[in-house]
Amino acid sequence: MDKELFMYSDESDFSFRLWIAGRKAIAVPAARMHHRGAANVNPKGDAQVVEFRTSDTKRFYANRNGLMVLLKSGQHLVLMMALLQAGMLVVEALAALLFVRRWSFVRKAYIHAFGDVWRLRHHIAAERQRIQSYRKHGDFWLLRFLRWRPNRLDEIQRTMKHGAPKVTSG
């Protein structure tokens, strides 16, 4: 696991690297896991979400790591998807500014995420080189594993149901 990812997107990174190397991920449909989630995201701790919550830190890692996975793993098409993802994050940051009305949230969750991707550019380049050394499948082969819907569609739906997210610092 890439220690720089810390949390969020680490499972996507691992899956991409498995597929690129020509390996398989096996699903176990009978397996069950209950993920309570952080209390600041789901205060009741059960399946019923009572409000939409997030934090500066959660958004920072989700935004940064999503870009890092695409930049590390992509050859051609996936690299273009990283540009598309960056553009969608800019639009999302503007929407967040309108909904949350807190510049510090946009600065930490979006601007710092882009800055940290830049700071980690040497790590990303080294990881790209390492991944290329064992690559068995290209970007077009990987398309079968991608979801063809907006990444944040579930969050848009929660916003429509529960209103603007309650954002905590930290």
Q: Does residue 4 lie in a domain region?
A: no
Rounded-to-integer distance, Cα 166 and Cα 54, Å: 6
Q: What is the pLDDT of residue 124?
A: 97
- Tens of pLDDT, residue by residue over 43-93, are 555 556 556 677 889 899 999 999 999 999 988 888 898 999 999 999 989
Q: What is the tally of structural domains in the chain? A: 1
Residue 103 lies in a domain: yes
Residue 13 is assigned to a structural domain of this protein: no
Residues 6 or more apart whose Cβ sits within 8 Å of residue 77: 139, 140, 143
The whole-number pLDDT of residue 38 equals 52
> 77 lies in a domain?
yes
Provide the residue range defining the domain that includes 118.
Answer: 55-163
Does residue 9 belong to any structural domain of this protein?
Answer: no
Give the tokens for residue 139: 């970007």
Regions of the chain where pLDDT drops below 70: 33-52, 147-152, 162-165, 170
Structural domain includes residue 158? yes
Query: Does residue 42 lie within any of the structural domains?
Result: no
pTM across the whole model:
0.81
pLDDT of the residue at 161:
76
Which residue is it, tokens 């995420």? 113
| CA–CA separation, 132 and 17 (whole Å) | 10
What's the pLDDT score for residue 170? 66
